[in-house]
Structure 1
Amino acid sequence: MISEPELTGGPDAGGAEVISDADRKPRWGGMRRPWVWGVGGVVLASAVWAGGVRAWAAHHDGPPDLHGYLLGDSPCAGTTLEPLTRALRAVDVAAVSPAAARLGPALDQIRCTLSVNAPDGEGGMGYFQIFVTIDLHKRTDPRAEFEDQARVDSADLTPVKSVRRVAGLGDEAFAQTLSRQSEELKVLHGGAVFTLTLTGYSGDHVSEDTLGALHGGPRQVASDVGRFESELVDAMRNVMKGQQKTRR
């Protein structure tokens, strides 16, 4: 976990030594210039330390930068998730329900789920769901919580199977393998947290209504979804771009 920078060299810090010539013979005409220089050095160090504190506080105070993100259209709509649906060779694609959104004084949130009927790679048809969550933290920096939860399956709070850092997405990004049937990508960008999860299901995990809507539904489990990690990254770029508005 990335920790806050440790400030050192303050006026209360131990080990500081004031230069003195009390035990030396006077020089420079009896003036104890080294002692005068020592006090000046301490004053200068204290001023620099105080300036560093002010600069650090100014950088960390205030709300987190949202980088122009503003909740708009459902991230499951249109072609936003096409990199995944195309890679899955989707036969049927439908939103499970309208996107759920909430705007609050401290946190804006949106959730949506896309269902996909596609070949399972084992000669049958598989059923997949793509979950998208976006949280815009408008008052407090979510970095500490993001890093704390980066290796945890939020569904059951168990450790993930594996986790890998992903470069080039936001401030930090993690790809997580939850199981053979579930892969997740989490991104932190300022005060914005994005999560994109791909999960494959077997027929007994799907309701009869959903199976009917998907022309018979899956016959086998959709497994090894980890092979779609690069498509998760491409889809995530679309999700982030879709919620980013031009700053005024």
Structure 2
Amino acid sequence: MAKMTSFESYNAKTTNISYRWPSGVTGIERIVLSAQGDLQRVLSAFFAQPIVVALVCCQTLYHTSPTSALAPLTLPNPAAIASASQETPIVQTRKVYLKCAGKVVCTATSCVRITSPECARLFLEEKYAIGQMFRRLEKVPAFDLLATGFGTADELEGNPGSVGDNKRDQELWRKYRLSMPDFECEILEVFPSREMFVFGETWLVDEPTMAAKGVTSSQSQSGDVKLADWSLRIPLN
């Protein structure tokens, strides 16, 4: 009997990835867009260098009781960590940079729902990144690729650009969901330039800096990010 998801099907001898990719997407881009909780490993193999996660900003909320509204959670808070459950989940919205050789190769914005003390401890206290959570717990996450395309992040809810649409085809993005028992996340990832998948390590050295493109240091590093503007569909309770 074949096993199927909305993205992948397999049986005893065959695996098939079936998805309506954007016109013009390349083979290496399809590999990256198909990563299922192991994007750091894939990018590290591609660039032959370490990939480091750098937290830009985050907001953590929790329920003080099963009937209470979500409230800000200040860490450390051992009691809140220990109380994480299906009835009193902890929810974190966060933005991180994936960096290689000091350069941003992906910007990831995510909403994470945590419903067990173990997952809360690993993620919030021991600071495991999302991808490392699945490896640490030796779980293969369920994966659902929700959307992919070319263009800037503010176009995702509208009509993203297509290949050849001037500057907009420089960025590649995907929106997807990963889940395992007690840990679920919905993630938007934006890759800053499709050229990095063409030139690889050379792009890390030769690509013009963000300042040369008109992006200031304060803009690229600011923690004042409108996380709530990106619509996430993970139920909060």
TM-score by shorter chain over 0.5 = no
Q: Please report the TM-score for the alignment, with normalisation by the length of structure 2.
A: 0.30
Q: Please report the TM-score for the alignment, with normalisation by the length of structure 1.
A: 0.29
